[in-house]
Structure 1
Amino acid sequence: MPVTEDVQRVARAMLKDFEALMSAIVDRVWQTVPPYSTLLLERGDLADRIRENIHNVMVCLLEDRDPNPEELARCARNGERRALQGVSHAALIQSFRIAERTLSEEYTGWCSRMQVRPSHARAGRVTMIEMLDRLELAMLNAYTAMQQQISASNLLTEPTLFSRLAIGSPIDAAEVEELARVLGLEDTDQTRFVAVAASLAGDADPAAIERVRHHLVFRLTSATGATTLSGTVHIDAGPIALLALAWPGSSADIVPVVEQAIAETALRDPVRAAVGEPRLGLAQLNMSCRQAIQTLEIVDDTEPRRAVRYVDTLLEVLAERENNLLRELRARYLAPLGADLEETLRCYLDTSLSLAATATALHLHKNTVMYRLRRIEELSGVDLHDPRDIARVVLALDAS
């Protein structure tokens, strides 16, 4: 039955007074469902999710239409998020029922005040509840799928194994055979494996890292079709999630998959990720794990929700490993220059050896830049036209 005009007027009025409606619903859910107030959830986060669902329902009622795929997808992501946050299935259903009852009471009150014909009001209420039920079903289906994946990822969690992989220990033959069975692979010697490490951008909370791990296992498995092993390991900076999966492509190919996963709103906290190089054979997985971790340790200033490859940070990794060598490079090539010449050299290299771009960036005349570059070559002994000398200077600058 089409939504009548008088019911549409009620929907329009309720949307205009939406904040009061939201306050009534959120207050009742927060106070009535114990898990919400006892879990590490923010009231604002709960309000945002309820707001989205109730707003969808009222807009659909006003426009006399069903929830569209985008609205259902947002509701599904909300279900995934609740699963990751540890909200129970019973609490999820109870919160929906309380929101439904409160919305129904508010709607009935508005219909009475606006003198809506009783038969129209009843039909509008039925339509409104049907819309809310569709959103609830989308959320519960996604919640259930995420819960199943969390259970599966717990079965595939290898804390002892990943703790050893994190420090570069090899996998012995017996472990290779067992992991091959778990992963459903017959020939692990000819299969390439890649490791992904992830951490929170801020202070690392073990419970939050676990949510990150579950989320990434679900997303990587869904996107690649490969079983994903995972574990939480501790490094100097705190706990991180470490994952491993069979991957036939390059590290560049998996970066977009990882970035899409860590960019999703189901992860409330900004996440950084690093990707090791794929290694042939499960016995070589430790190398990819170490690469991912080493990369993660040196990308603290990387923009959150980005994934960085090990091969893109080789200079930084070398700088981290070879402190004595880099001290010698700094002393040999940078110490004689002074601040102004070092700034000029850094800018010249950052602008791909462009004289004009360096002059513009430093607000200098091109002749001044040319003079400074000659002085740099004289004082440091480098030839800025020799790729090998440039590589040495880049290392020295990167470590300074």
Structure 2
Amino acid sequence: MTAQASAMPRELVEYGVTALAKVDELAAELSRRVIAAEAELAVGTLVPAEDAYQVCVDMLTEFYRYLAGDAPLDPQVVRALGQRRAEQGVPLSAVLHGFRIGGRFIWETLAATADLADRRHAEAVLSQATVLWTVLDDYSTELREAYGEAVALRTRQQQTERNHQLDTLLKSGSELGSRWAAADALGLAKRGQFQVMVADDPAPETDHICASALTRAGIASVWRISSDELAAVLTLGPRASAQDLDQALAGVQHARVGVSPVFEQISDAGLAHQRARIAAACAPSGTAEVRHYGDDPIATLASTASDTARYLADQVLGPVFALPERERASLLETLRAWFAAGGSTDMAATALFCHRNTVRYRLRHLEELTGRRLTDPRDAAQLYLAVETVVQHDEERFVAEQS
């Protein structure tokens, strides 16, 4: 796209010079055609008429200067158009359609200059059809790329601003006025039925998957995305239920999900965020489960006072942690299964695919090591809190930290 006047047929150079002289008139006609063809470019909607006209002036001037040999074609002109239309929110399909209308207009006006009575003149003009459409195709590619880059930049900017507002809203120490202002910026009401959910280390696109499922359940959501956590403020519709919420959040893969209790003042989102994090930590490490704050009081307590819980777990299960890995894992797995079975040895044996006497033996061995009896409610409570803490923090990592 760097042809100069010497490379152009004389007839095209003459046409370029003539067209430049009346480019305002040609641009007015072209802008009328584009506006008539595209509702998105109509007067008073996304693009003002004077904007559409000026684009036509710029594009036609660029092309006619090329024909006249004044300057090579400059892709920055069309890239600027793609960026501006993306910023204005004009659909790409409408922009490309308008561009094609411009291409047809240029060809029609050029072909109309061909003197059919003069074969050489007509051939000189019509032979440029391939060149013209090649240039327009290259320009369309530049237009798409610039439009896509502008959309991506705007999306990143919007996400950054949304994250900033959500950080303010979800931070308990923020001033009340700042939290209200953040809620306004996010389009959230000051009062309603709200919950906060978090997911640790979720799979890509989790927010899009869950947002769609939540919308179908009548739950609006605003998402905060970071490298290690996905958080959302949920606004519950009048027909939304806890079951609907759990079904929607079941789409979160490879992550522990925590959900806060329902709250009515949006300014309480910071406390709800803390509770959602605690709820997520109640699920076993490495699993993909949905947990609600307070559903399991012991697990919630272990998660809330994490450092203390780890210390106490080491005090209770220290002798078990000192065992070889295989034996230690067997005893802890049996203890978890026994608690999950409500203290039933037979049910625990079924879950572990072993004989009930094996379960009894392992439990007796664990009682001897810890000095605590599962028949004593106080000792059983201590063992349950200890093993729940180990489950939350991953057994191998927990033991490594305590050693």
TM range (shorter): 0.3 to 0.5
**Structure showing greater relative contact order (alpha-carbon pairs closer than 8 Å, 6 or more residues apart):** 1
Indicate the structure (1 or 2) with the bigger Cα radius of gyration. Answer: 2
Q: TM-score, normalised by structure 1?
A: 0.45
Q: TM-score, normalised by structure 2?
A: 0.44
